[in-house]
Amino acid sequence: MADHAPLAAEDGPIVGHLLVVDDNEMNRDMLSRRLKRQGHTVSVAANGLQALDMMKQEAFDLVLLDIMMPELNGYETLERLKADSDLAYIPVIMISAVDEIESIVHCIKLGAEDYLSKPFNGTLLKARIGASLEKKRLRDRQAAYIHQLDIENQRKSIELEHARRIQLSLLPAAPPQLPFLDIAAYQETASEVGGDYYDFAVQADNQLLITIGDATGHGVGSGLLVSMTKASLLATNETEIMTLIQKINHILNEIDLGVQLNMALMLIEVTQTQSGEVIVRACGGGMPPIYLLRANGQLEEFIISGLPLAITKEAHYSVTEFRLHADDTMVLMSDGLSEMFNPQLQFLSFDRLTTGLAALNTNGLTAAQIIEQIADIGHNWANGHPIADDVTLVAVRVK
């Protein structure tokens, strides 16, 4: 069908392209001349079938439809028009010599914009047409605005999808293989571009550096902060984790993104000594505790104190050190798991999460299986409720 007909400029009189439908030629001509004198362009149809065909070929701003016609009367024409999704937007004023309340009510129920009785009062006719055209102009403006929003949303969705792919490319394709460790990772994002980040860097056969972080919020801003964090890590040759955290913090504080963003970040160095002992050193700020699932079934947690990065250059950081033994599992995570909501909008919380971790039986499980059990704590709590924040888990089990 043709595009919607344009209405006159908003600062001038409201005129449009009208269709007059009446089986009486004299009535059609008389009404057409009156409407043309008011500035409208007018087409005419002798019956309902002809009118419906014309509306499919030509765009009209308003239809004036007589009720009493042969073949297809006004009621039936109106009903077919409103049932057609391509024509239903066209406002219709019903015209008839019958001035009965039942007829008026029936027309309104069928979707008519208004109702006029013959013979016409010139002032009333002009006012009713003007009001109908004004309402159509507002509806057209709203439809154009919604259409523009749809186009903009599609554009943003494409851009966010590209950003998401770039973001995913920053993550390791798979955990590294080390002779003394079994490593697994899991991530679930709450938006197209997530703020969570993790990475692995093998320093030697006996040493691994793990990075895990959580940028403020979601979307492009947080994704950009993650990208800058990884770039900062790659740009330095520093190996001491506390100095490295301080340098990254300094770099992020130098960058002005126009909005307040910060990066919770933790670096974890895992080293196997010549005696076979596994030593863990951790430094950072703003991240959840490190959880240790000991081989004997005990649960321990280590809180790594320190401010998130990019808040202030003056932030101070320290190193926390502990040891792992055979079949111990170290669990790292972002705060997304603890912040999962259930259908009653209650969040899981670290207290409930800790209780769930303490109840796990990890004997004989791989790191991937342990992560699956931990993720299930959140999913069972959420019971289908969508996640509100990115969820990242890293499990490191000593062989």
- CATH number where 134 lies: 3.40.50.2300
Q: Which residues contact 79 (CB under 8 A, 6 or more apart)?
A: 110
Identify whether 8 is part of a domain: no
- Do 197 and 266 share a domain, yes or no? yes
Is the residue at 65 inside a domain?
A: yes
Tell me: do 254 and 373 sit in the same domain.
yes
Identity of the residue numbered 94? M
Residues 259 and 379 in one domain: yes
Question: Is 305 part of any domain?
Answer: yes
Shared domain for 251 and 347, answered yes or no, is yes
Contact (CB, 8 A) for 362 and 162:
no
Q: Which of 110, 145, 180 is the last residue of a domain?
A: 145
How far is it, in rounded angstroms, from Cα 242 to Cα 212? 15
139 and 174 inside one domain: no
Is 10 within the bounds of a domain?
A: no
pLDDT for position 390: 86
Alpha-helical segments (H) within 198-279 = 220-235, 241-254
For residues 141 and 207, membership in a common domain is answered with: no
Residue 374 and residue 301 share a domain: yes
User: Could you say which of 145, 161, 195 is where a domain stops?
Assistant: 145
Distance CA 183, CA 38 (A): 80
Q: Which domain holds residue 218?
A: 170-398
- Please report, for residues 231, 252, 253, 279, 355, the alpha-carbon distance to residue 260 in angstroms, rounded to integers and kept in the order given: 20, 11, 11, 36, 34
Sign of the CA dihedral running 365, 370, 372, 374? positive
Judge if 309 and 235 occupy the same domain: yes
Confirm whether 2 is domain-assigned: no
Q: What CATH number does the domain containing 190 carry?
A: 3.60.40.10
How many domains does the structure of the chain reveal?
Answer: 2
On whether the pTM is more than 0.75, the answer is no
Is 385 part of any domain? Answer: yes
Q: Are 340 and 364 in contact (CB under 8 A)?
A: no
What integer pLDDT is reported at residue 218 of this predicted model?
Answer: 60
Q: Which of 129, 145, 161 is the last residue of a domain?
A: 145
pLDDT at 54: 96
Whether residues 127 and 179 fall in one domain: no
Q: For every one of its 399 residues, what pLDDT tens digit does the chain have, with 9 covering 90 and above?
A: 555 555 554 556 789 999 999 999 999 999 999 999 999 999 999 999 999 999 999 999 999 999 999 889 999 999 999 999 999 999 999 988 877 788 888 898 999 989 988 888 888 889 989 999 998 888 888 888 888 988 888 887 776 666 667 666 777 889 999 999 999 999 998 765 567 889 999 987 799 999 999 988 666 667 778 888 888 888 888 889 999 999 999 988 888 766 678 999 999 999 999 888 899 999 999 999 999 999 999 999 999 999 999 999 999 999 999 999 999 999 999 999 999 999 999 999 999 999 999 999 999 999 999 999 999 999 999 999 999 888 999 999 999
Q: Are 214 and 264 in contact (CB under 8 A)?
A: yes
Distance between CA 333 and CA 187 in Å, rounded?
Answer: 10
Straight-line distance from the first to the last Cα atom of the chain, in angstroms, rounded to the nearest whole number: 70
How many CB atoms neighbour CB 218 within 10 A?
19
∠ CA 211-183-235 to the nearest 5 degrees?
A: 25
Separation between Cα atoms, residue 31 and residue 46, nearest integer Å: 13
> 188: helix, coil or strand?
strand
Residue that the structure tokens 């669990």 belong to? 331
354 and 219 share one domain? yes
Q: Is residue 107 part of a domain?
A: yes
DSSP 3-state of 59: coil
Q: What is the phi/psi pair of residue 285, to 5°?
A: -165, 150
Q: How many CB atoms lie within 10 A of CB 346?
A: 12
**Domain assignment of residue 355, yes or no:** yes
pLDDT score for 123: 87
What pLDDT, on the 0 to 100 scale, is given for residue 227? 81
Shared domain for 78 and 132, answered yes or no, is: yes
How many other β-carbons are positioned within 10 Å of the β-carbon of residue 305? 13
Q: Are residues 354 and 251 part of one domain? A: yes
What pLDDT does 220 receive? 66
Distances from the Cα of 149 to the Cα of 164, 218, 373, angstroms: 22, 21, 42
Task: Determine the pLDDT at residue 193.
Answer: 55
By residue count, the chain amounts to 399
Q: Please give the angle made by the CA atoms of 314, 317 and 322, to the nearest 5 degrees.
A: 180
